[in-house]
Amino acid sequence: MRKEVIALLLLVIVVATFWFFTRPKEEQVMCPAVCKYGCITGTAQCREPPPLVCPSTCKLGCKPGTTQCKPEVVEPRATRITGCGALNETSEMVFNLHSDEQCLVIQRDNIILDCMSNMILGNGKTGSYGIYLKGRKNVTIQNCVIENYGSGIVVDSSSNISILNVRVVDNLDDGILISSSKSVLLDRALSLKNSNGLFIISSENLVLSNNSFSENVFGILIVSSEIASLSGNRICSSWSMDMKCENSQIMQSEGNTCGLAVECEVECSLCSEIDQRPDID
């Protein structure tokens, strides 16, 4: 009996040894060298990188996919205007200005002129202007009072211009002249006692909103131009005509107040009787 047990054990050992050396061997999985963070166990699939943690010192967060802080945006300080002349950077007026001919000429793109409610005063000469820009883009003019020039503001051959909250009064020719320009916004302007409150010629994609034109010879004169939107404007008390359009188109108009003398296709409610015409002594 003992011999049989020993023989059986020897047989088991022989069979196990044979199986061990003859069994099919698994191929060894190699992790590609491109896997910066190694592979998932038993595969050649790269591990995902660990999540990035943006440092708490980054006030504006991090650049996408990095731990580098986003740069803080520092608003450029406006240069103080000390007199009439050329403007080449964002500027602000801190006191009134006066000139015989032209006053401020904007010569750079992407700047803001803030008059801070100060006045630019001329001597009433034909051909003079308070603010002038030609061939410019992305310029904002705001909070200006301009009186007694040939033209208060002249925008020529320019684009993406915003004229906001300005007052143009007693200018011989035009309160505001926009010529050969596109994408101009005129908002919250007061144009009073000029020959033309607003003269637009050969321009397109203009937006006129919430402006007031009063006691001008012509309130708004539009020649060979396209107005994208005319809304919330008051055009009353003109000496000759509140609105005149020649070879021009107004794409959208709403909420405007106009007098009876209008030669444009616009939606207008009538000015009150006291606004229809200035008294002539």
In the predicted structure, residue 225 carries a pLDDT above the cut 60: yes
- Give pLDDT, residue 276: 45
Name the percent of the chain lying above pLDDT 70: 85
Confidence of residue 279 (pLDDT cuts 50, 70, 90): very low
Rounded distance between C-alpha atoms, residue 210 and residue 39, angstroms: 65
Asked if 262 and 243 touch (Cβ cutoff 8 Å), the reply is yes
In the predicted structure, residue 231 carries a pLDDT above the cut 80: yes
- Give pLDDT, residue 39: 83
Tell me phi and psi for residue 11, to 5 degrees: -65, -40
Question: Helices (H) and strands (E) in the chain — how many of each?
Answer: 1, 28
Rounded distance between C-alpha atoms, residue 281 and residue 272, angstroms: 20
- 12: alpha, beta or left? (left if phi > 0; alpha if psi -120 to 50): alpha
- Give pLDDT, residue 210: 95
* Topology (CATH level 3) of domain 79-275: Pectate Lyase C-like (2.160.20)
pTM of the model: 0.71
CA 2 to chain centre: 101
233 strand-pairing partners: none
Q: What is the mean pLDDT of the chain?
A: 85
In the predicted structure, residue 71 carries a pLDDT above the cut 90: no
pLDDT tens-digit profile of 137-177? 999 999 999 999 999 999 999 999 999 999 999 999 999 99
In the predicted structure, residue 74 carries a pLDDT above the cut 60: no
Each domain of the chain, given as residue ranges in start order, spans 79-275
The more confidently predicted of residues 264 and 5 is 264
CA distances from 166 to 37, 93, 146, 234, 269 (A): 62, 14, 8, 15, 24
pLDDT tens-digit profile of 166-207? 999 999 999 999 999 999 999 999 999 999 999 999 999 999
